[in-house]
Amino acid sequence: MLNIKNEVLVRVYAVAALVVLVAIVILGRLYQISIVQAADWKAKADSLYVKLVDAPSQRGNILADDGSLLATSLPFFDVHWDAKAEGLTDEIFNQTAVDSLAWLLSTYIDQQYTPGAYRDWLMALRNAP
């Protein structure tokens, strides 16, 4: 029985020695990479950085690898406005919304019409049946 215990004990010591040996090899490799070869790895890391460059591109086009057009979008859109929305009370519409909206429409949409003309048109839309 003592012989079996010694045999098991020898195997346990052998496994423990193997684990310690692997740990020493790992620590040695870690030392070699982080201390001895540090300059080489730092130079390699510096060369692998990605440099971001702004590339001017045309908006709205999606191109394939060969440069052919896959999809495009046109900068046209329709804006709809509900002049009789419940949240837009007469008080809000008459005091703030109509004047500002008329001025913005005359400035940015169609400069042929004055803010007063837009205001009259918006009021007519609001009062239409």
116 token code pair: 């007063």
Instruction: Fill in the amino acid letter for 102.
Output: A
Q: Between 29 and 55, whose confidence is greater? A: 29
Q: Cα separation of 62 and 114, whole Å?
A: 40
Cα distances (angstroms) measured from residue 95 to each of 91, 98, 101, 110? 6, 7, 11, 23
Instruction: Give whichever of 11-25, 52-66, 94-108 has the largest mean pLDDT.
Output: 11-25
Mean pLDDT, rounded, for 105-117: 87
pLDDT the model gives residue 31 = 94
Those residues whose C-beta lies under 8 Å from the C-beta of residue 128, and which sit 6 or more positions away, are 83
pTM to 2 decimal places: 0.40
pLDDT the model gives residue 57 = 67
The answer to whether the CB of 35 falls within 8 A of the CB of 29 is no
Q: Cα separation of 57 and 75, whole Å?
A: 15
Mean pLDDT, rounded, for 9-36: 95
Instruction: Fill in the amino acid letter for 49.
Output: Y
- Whose tokens are 């703030």? That residue is 96
Residue 102 burial (10 A CB sphere; 0-12, 13-18, 19+): buried
Paired with 63 in beta bridges are 69
